Amino acid sequence: MKPLVKRCAVYTRKSTEEGLEQDFNTLDAQREACLAYIASQIAEGWTALPDLYDDGGYSGGNIERPALQKLLADIKAGKINTVVVYKIDRLTRSLMDFSKLVEIFDQYGVTFVSITQSFNTTTSMGRLTLNVLLSFAQFEREVIGERVRDKVAASKKKGIWLGGHNPVGYERINKTLIPKKVEIPFVTMIYERYLALGSVKSLMLELRKKNIVSPTWVSSKGKKHGGNLYSRGALYAILSNPVYIGKIQHKGQVYDGLHEAIISQDLWDRTQAKLKENRVSHSIQRKQHGLLTGKLFDHEGTLYSPMHTNKAGKRYRYYVSQNLAQYRNHPKGLLARLPASEIEDLVRKTICDQFLKPETIATMLDIDATKNYDTIVHISTHWKNIDIDSIIRAAIQKIVLSQDALKVVLNRPTLASVLRQEFDINLPDVFVDFTFTTPYITSRTKNGAIMIDGIHEKLSKNDPFNRPEHEIQNWVRGVAWRDMYFGGKTLDEIATLEKTDSRYVARLINESLTIA
């Protein structure tokens, strides 16, 4: 009887890229040995697939490797019956990752063979042997990691630069940092302009306005880097890197370096003092958390973050789009800066509205209105005793802002838990989020302040009374002033009579003409 064909995939791996440029490297050697083993099993129906699954320069500490991911995809597609490797540690050095891979192999009926280590994954003894071998492989990997970390720490203590991207202002010659004279004035300018402007953000804007980009350089592999506009993170890295005063930093410790400093100690100290001062003020600002912190997004998924400003001794709070903070384009029709109290009050009212009607409560909690009538009535009667802010903080998962509506996503399990504690009632567990929308409008007052108000859904948008209270008042004034104007009084006379500005009178009269 002719044996069934077993499609075999050969997987190879090397942790570093050293030597891979050779015509015959370790990956080729692993593959040839595996192919020879497959050829010896031809009587059993084994045949090697032509696809290459080679991971050169990838650690065995995780499974995020391109060739391995391609191998797993082909296994799931039913293209492979057997995976062949030279040694088990070529597949992975992690016991946890190996367990995941074995589960995938078992799920799709794939066998695993290491040609230098004889075992059978279909038996308990074979699995035990695999786990023992893999435990030693993981141990070896961890020991190697410890040795490397110890070597790095010892080298840093001696002030030796161990590589990575060259700091701006330096070049690397014979594994040593050497000041790059053409870039030293630029580094000095960065420090001096930061002290003059007072913030990294202002420095970034100035550099971008002048179209100043990072220096370009080519890596040992011929890849070009740099030539980009400076971000705040990149500038902060320059301003806080002790390499510029001849130091080497490692895990919070600073050691004397073997390279030459390119800025003065005085300039460094003044810069660090300013950075520390700004960090303190920012940390104080971050503590002023808004009610909707981390919950408010626009329809493109961009977060609004809480901020505040002080004017004439009064604090004004806002939620500011990260598009504005990061100087990106903002969606049309949306405010990039929302008045915090206005949007928070609208959300509070929206949540309170959900507790007004029994049928709304039943829908929100996903319970039967008839069977749970007493519970629903109890909630609707006593909901005013609930701390609405605590519900918002705990149960609201996300609020999505569009041009004329808010979409509120409630976490039902959390909401049920809060209500159980507040009212000491039994509520079933529900694991699906509850989403509802509420319309809103934005407008500006006479002094330019932004107002955000909800709209009753059943009212027509053309209804003059379907508007915020201050707009209704302005409309009433406009109608009265319109009658006075058409009665023969001039704009100046009306303004004098009402103790206001004639342009304001004209605007309200014009607005009254556009409203039915």
CATH architecture of structural domain 170-285: Alpha-Beta Complex (3.90)
Q: What is the DSSP string of 437-494?
A: EEEEEEEE-TTS-EEEEE--TTS-TT-TTSS-HHHHHHHHHHHHHHHHHHTT--HHHH
User: Domain ranges in the chain?
Assistant: 6-144, 170-285, 296-454, 469-513
Distance, CA of 506 to CA of 482 (rounded, Å):
9
| Of residues 227, 235, 170, 226, the one with CA closest to residue 197 | 235
The alpha carbon of 160 is separated from its chain's Cα centroid by a whole number of angstroms, namely: 35
Cα–Cα distance list, 74 to 38, 53, 121, 403 (Å): 19, 11, 20, 46
Candidate CATH numbers 3.40.50.1820, 3.90.1420.10, 3.90.700.10, 3.40.50.1390; the one for domain 6-144 = 3.40.50.1390
Q: What is the DSSP string of 172-197?
A: EETTEEEE-TTTHHHHHHHHHHHHHH
Strands 396-401 and 296-298 turn out to be parallel
101-133 exposure pattern, b = at least 16 Cβ within 10 A, e = fewer: bbeebeeeebbbbbbeeebebeeeeeeebbeeb
- CA angle 493-496-499, nearest 5°? 145
Distance, CA of 283 to CA of 428 (rounded, Å):
41
Neighbours of 361 (CB within 10 A): 22
Question: Tens-of-pLDDT digits for all 516 residues of the chain?
Answer: 566 788 999 999 988 877 777 878 889 899 999 999 999 888 888 999 989 999 988 887 778 888 999 999 999 998 999 999 988 778 887 766 777 787 788 888 888 888 887 665 555 766 676 677 667 666 776 777 777 777 777 767 766 776 667 788 888 887 788 888 888 899 999 999 999 988 888 888 888 888 888 877 776 666 777 788 888 778 888 898 888 888 887 776 778 888 888 889 999 999 988 888 876 555 444 445 688 888 999 988 889 888 877 777 777 888 888 887 676 777 877 888 888 888 888 888 888 888 877 778 888 888 877 777 778 777 877 777 677 888 888 889 899 988 888 899 988 888 888 887 777 777 777 667 888 888 887 766 656 666 676 654 444 444 554 555 566 677 778 888 888 888 888 888 888 888 888 888 888 888 776 554
Whether residue 405 contacts residue 439, with contact meaning beta carbons closer than 8 Å, is answered with yes
The model's pTM: 0.40
